[in-house]
Structure 1
């Protein structure tokens, strides 16, 4: 059984809604009885946030659900010794925050299940979430100090501010919480030599033939995983081949091909720029404009004026 990114992100939204309600009841209405539920829920959010993004890197089978063990450890510690949870929750937020930042640091090709069109936005949401978790952990340190020195007089105001920031972060994260539709089993990755090999060139040639013959690049949900499955190869091998032969990421490779096709349509057809961008495989005009400027150095409209055929 595998769990997909959208399932994790849906759970994350639901959990955060519950936490927001509990925080409001605890600090807004000063109902102390909800403190226990907040403590139990606290370690769940960072764990689910991490699993949500990890599900965009690889399918999450039961063996990848180790963050659930971290949640259980927090709960067991609270049951055994209620004094322990604060430091343990703090380490949980910091730990998962740094893990998200580490995943972000690996680059776009690490998110093999995410649609290529969404990778830029997904990585932004991921680094934002990771930074927010780290900030939340640092906020907990301040709250512990505030309770020691000031009896927690500033806790309500600080928690309100942090919760508001989290609403924005979770909203941004959830809006990109989807993976390309893939049903094939995951293959093992392989270790490759850093030099360009004949096999690397063959892989890139096969991909370009797929684009020309099957128009695979026009799929808005195209992902590294889909490309790899079409070739019957591991994700890492395809990614490394493109990196070495072309010196670019998978998303840049795909978008370069899309832009070349778009140039042909812009110069020879009467289609609007929006129609051309959609036909080339871009989900939004803003993505098309950004990639066109990166590859060509001009906006689509400027290039069309200078290169349109009579």
Structure 2
């Protein structure tokens, strides 16, 4: 199987993006599938190392089977970030089962089946992440929603890339022979890694997207939802939870995540993350005015986990930095 090393490289990238996207996630499903993925990745590394590093050819049949499990696990991990249950996850066993049967009885089908598996799950993940709505990644912490969506999109793109490169390598081997295949594979892997780096260096359009303005005549039903959410955030100071997610707010307020997100957007012109951060910034302003705590201590106290996010959201909500806010407060106190 000339193209099997490609899923191994994909495994490394999948592990990185999944780990990056699942920080602050308390969804048991995603964690379970993510752990399974990492275990499989370790197994794949051992198999590939023994096969290509030490010439243990007997392990060659295992490679396509382990490779075929990675796309379903990646999909299930991202699917677990939504606030909907995963129906019949055992159905996804079709991928490794079909590859195992092909390895045993009809090896000519292994490459075409791997192509189908990567395309099917790449499409499924892309459809899952094609929208930027907050509720898509409801189980991710509010500050991880956008990175989770970006990771899902990148994972889908990489699946398409490795599926097509699998075909390209097979065609190249048929035309030019197997001698140049290692070089071709290395070039493809370099392209994939470079694309991954560029993707993460590019600005995230979702971070700079402007939310629609609040309606001039808000729906009373939306106002009622906003009031319930505000009360839920204050109960037990839930807003201080740095791993707070849309799903957690939804459960606390007893409002479906989609309805909650839509109502806040229509009534306030903010997304859920901005709405919660406004509450956090309000408390931060009080602490800056009334205490001598450092801005960093206040940042952590009100629920922010990174200084860049705190400063950005503070400036968005108040028009000034925390340092400027405290200096203004001191001037006003002195002047009075």
TM-score band, normalised by shorter chain: 0.7 to 0.9
8 Å CA contact retained: 2:64, 2:99: no
Q: Hey, what's the Cα distance between the residues in 2 that align with 1:163 and 1:21?
A: 19
Q: Mapping of 1:1-310 within 5 angstroms?
A: 4-58=29-83, 60-61=85-86, 63-107=88-132, 108-159=134-185, 197-308=219-330, 310=333
The structural deviation recorded for 1:70 is 3.2
8 Å CA contact retained: 2:71, 2:117: yes
- Which consecutive residues of structure 2, in runs of 5 or more, have no partner in the other structure? 1-26, 197-216
The structural deviation recorded for 1:272 is 0.9
The 3 A distance-change label for structure 1 pair 226 and 293 is: same
Q: Hey, what's the Cα distance between the residues in 1 that align with 2:69 and 2:128?
A: 19
The 3 A distance-change label for structure 1 pair 142 and 265 is: same
SS in 2 for 1:58: coil
The 3 A distance-change label for structure 1 pair 198 and 154 is: farther
Aligned length: 283
Q: Hey, what's the Cα distance between the residues in 2 that align with 1:71 and 1:115?
A: 32
- Which consecutive residues of structure 1, in runs of 5 or more, have no partner in the other structure? 170-194
TM-score (ref. length: structure 2): 0.74
8 Å CA contact retained: 2:83, 2:135: no
SS in 1 for 2:244: coil
8 Å CA contact retained: 1:218, 1:258: yes
Q: Which runs of 4+ in 1 moved over 6 A?
A: 161-166
* Matching residue of 1:189: none
SS in 1 for 2:139: coil
Larger mean CA deviation between 224-233 and 150-159 belongs to: 150-159
Q: What RMSD in Å do the two structures reach over aligned CA positions?
A: 2.8
Q: Hey, what's the Cα distance between the residues in 2 that align with 1:90 and 1:99?
A: 14
Deviations 1:187-223 (A, max 9, x none): xxxxxxxx95322210101111233453221112211
The 3 A distance-change label for structure 1 pair 31 and 116 is: same
The structural deviation recorded for 1:48 is 0.5
8 Å CA contact retained: 1:109, 1:250: no
Q: Hey, what's the Cα distance between the residues in 2 that align with 1:303 and 1:110?
A: 35
TM-score (ref. length: structure 1): 0.80
Q: Hey, what's the Cα distance between the residues in 1 that align with 2:313 and 2:116?
A: 40
The structural deviation recorded for 1:44 is 0.4
Q: Hey, what's the Cα distance between the residues in 2 that align with 1:10 and 1:159?
A: 28
The 3 A distance-change label for structure 1 pair 213 and 20 is: closer
8 Å CA contact retained: 2:47, 2:62: yes
The structural deviation recorded for 1:47 is 0.9
8 Å CA contact retained: 1:94, 1:133: yes
8 Å CA contact retained: 2:69, 2:96: yes
Deviations 1:107-139 (A, max 9, x none): 232111112132233233323322222222122
Q: Hey, what's the Cα distance between the residues in 2 that align with 1:290 and 1:239?
A: 22
